[in-house]
Structure 1
Amino acid sequence: MTRKTGISVLAACVVFFTGSVTAIAGPLEDRVKSGQPIRIGFSNVPIYAFPDDKGQAKGFANVIALGILKDMGITNVETTVTDWGGLIPGLQANRYDIVTGGMSILGSRCKNVSFSDPIAKAGDGLLVPKGNPKGIHNYKDILNKQAMFVTYSGANLVEAARKEGVADDQIMQVPGPSEVLAAVKSGRVDVGGMTYFEVKSMADASHGELEATNPADLPEWTQNWVGLAFRSEDEDFLARFNASLKKYIGSPEMIGAVKEYGYSEANLPGPTTTQWVCANR
């Protein structure tokens, strides 16, 4: 199967909905057995998970999730786009069954949801104006230079900045990546923070107006693993999902499907377990 064919087959499996989804009670295994669709929620986060102009679910997190479900024999899927900050609450409220959105596995999140085995390894990055006029390369620079930092609400970078001593009045939180980009481009902030996938993509598309700093300049502990989030009561389904994930992650089919998003073999999660990440991030 070619990459283009693989993407089109996966995309054809998705029925895209905007607006609210009626909550239906019952564990995910029961929904599948009764023929009800699996409901996927994600935010508009370039590279990771986003809708294209035809409403199809794109991004490597969506492609991986759909590929695993397809291998499990599941193609009855609905997707919903919402603000980043509404993903976990929506999952807990039974509006979605799986959250894809490129969500880093964090100890604070592990208290509220059950994550799949990791699907990717990805560090954070900083987005700055051309020439990096304030010389910002890490959180200590933001703190010491009294710079204004923007990221999106609920992102792991909020916790990271606070851990490095950045004050709340130096942190602007916005709904999503497009608002981060707009704040940096307009000069309302000195630096934006997202995953390195996102900042590199935005810098490359800015025609030299913006730059991505070196992710190696950030603390080692900001290296993160991405997972897919499930409700804790769906552990039985999650166990089956993880069994298929182990076969799919790193396969030629998967690498071909995600190549267009900049995901390479360097981003494979390796042997790191979700339990370790929950305890150490």
Structure 2
Amino acid sequence: MHRHIALTRRHLLGVASAGAFVTIAGGTTGCSKTEGGGESDADLLAQLKKRGYAKVAYANEAPYGFKEGGTLKGEAPTLHAEVFKALGVPELRPVFSEWDGLIPGLLAGKYDVISAGMAILPERCEKALFSEPEFISPTAMMVPAGNPKKLGDLSSAKQAGVTLGVMSGAAEKGYAEGAGVPADRIRTLTKPQDGADAVRSGRIDAFVLTGISLRWLARTNKGLEVTEPFLPVVDGVKQYSPGGAVFRKGATSLRDAFNVELRKITSDRERYVSLLGTYGFTAAEMPPADLTTARLCSA
């Protein structure tokens, strides 16, 4: 059982290249509307297929969803482009939103789906529909090249008596404390690059964040490496931090059709890594088959 799974939104780094590119275009077509401003559920997928595109929201956060050179890139747009193509919708048209405005904009009918790697949280499930998980976010540690302290997880960090760095306001501080790392061995940092700099200078022995984020950070920080990802355990519960696509509450038919195609990708290791490896996603980020959105929304 994974009843009280901690789910947090991460702020990740960088600019990507390659992957499935989704070009920006403009224009809209007429369609039936609900009071919230979006297409009615009964004909939404049919409308998207007829007009040939879906409007997707992104928050410009790499590697989840971001724009580069007039092109939308990242984990969510790449994955969602594959899914919608399989559903007969060949194009995604991006709409930028600040993070806090993503769900309000969806409910107002400004776009059809949120493609931003949004964490599946019970309070968000009350407002919108989530797909099944697209990924999980195992934790990792950034350490000096060669991993001189031989760190593998938070338990090993406690045993070694090392000093850890964590992001201010992020979940990793609680993970470290839950593993028994003393408070005076935990340093709070403002941004990810500060963590890399602190490891390089020896002010901390390891910087703790998601493996996705740290692998992205390592691309521009030579002399550092990232440990194999692991799932922290708090009060006996594994911390998965899953994310998914988000739809309006009434769009159950579209969400269900989306899930069918999504599952074909998230259950295929080779295809998943081939699609998302450019953005730092590995087989370790593939969601377990038994980790369902229904369970996460009721956690």
Per the normalisation by structure 1, the TM-score is: 0.66
Distance in structure 1 (CA, Å) of the matches to 2:177 and 2:100: 18
* Cα pair distance change 1:70/1:171, threshold 3 Å: farther
Which of residues 192, 195, 199 in structure 2 aligns to 1:181? Answer: 192
Amino-acid identity (%): 23
Q: Give how far 1:70 is off.
A: 0.3
The aligned counterpart of 1:46 is 62
* Cα pair distance change 1:26/1:46, threshold 3 Å: closer
Are the counterparts in 2 of residues 42 and 101 from structure 1 also a CA contact under 8 Å?
yes
Structure number with greater Rg is 2
The aligned counterpart of 2:9 is none
Q: Give how far 1:74 is off.
A: 0.3
Q: Where do 5+ consecutive residues of structure 2 fail to align?
A: 1-17, 28-34
Q: Give how far 1:244 is off.
A: 2.0
The aligned counterpart of 1:108 is 123
Deviations 1:39-86 (A, max 9, x none): 21122333322222x222222222111100000010242113333333
SS at match of 1:233: coil
Q: Give how far 1:16 is off.
A: 8.2
The aligned counterpart of 1:90 is 105
SS at match of 1:201: helix
SS at match of 2:90: coil
SS at match of 2:238: helix
Task: Provide the alpha-carbon RMSD of the alignment.
Answer: 4.4
Q: What is the count of residue pairs matched by the alignment?
A: 253
The aligned counterpart of 1:236 is 253
Distance in structure 1 (CA, Å) of the matches to 2:111 and 2:251: 12
The aligned counterpart of 2:7 is none
Distance in structure 1 (CA, Å) of the matches to 2:39 and 2:177: 36
SS at match of 1:74: coil
Higher helix share: 1
Bigger Cα displacement from structure 2, 242-251 vs 97-106: 242-251
Distance in structure 2 (CA, Å) of the matches to 1:224 and 1:12: 26
Are the counterparts in 1 of residues 38 and 107 from structure 2 also a CA contact under 8 Å?
no
Distance in structure 2 (CA, Å) of the matches to 1:27 and 1:173: 44
* Cα pair distance change 1:194/1:107, threshold 3 Å: farther
Does residue 201 of the first structure (1) align with residue 219 of the second (2)? Answer: no
SS at match of 2:244: strand
Are the counterparts in 1 of residues 139 and 230 from structure 2 also a CA contact under 8 Å?
no
Q: Give how far 1:197 is off.
A: 0.4
Q: Give how far 1:232 is off.
A: 1.1
Task: State the AA in 1 paired with 2:266.
Answer: I
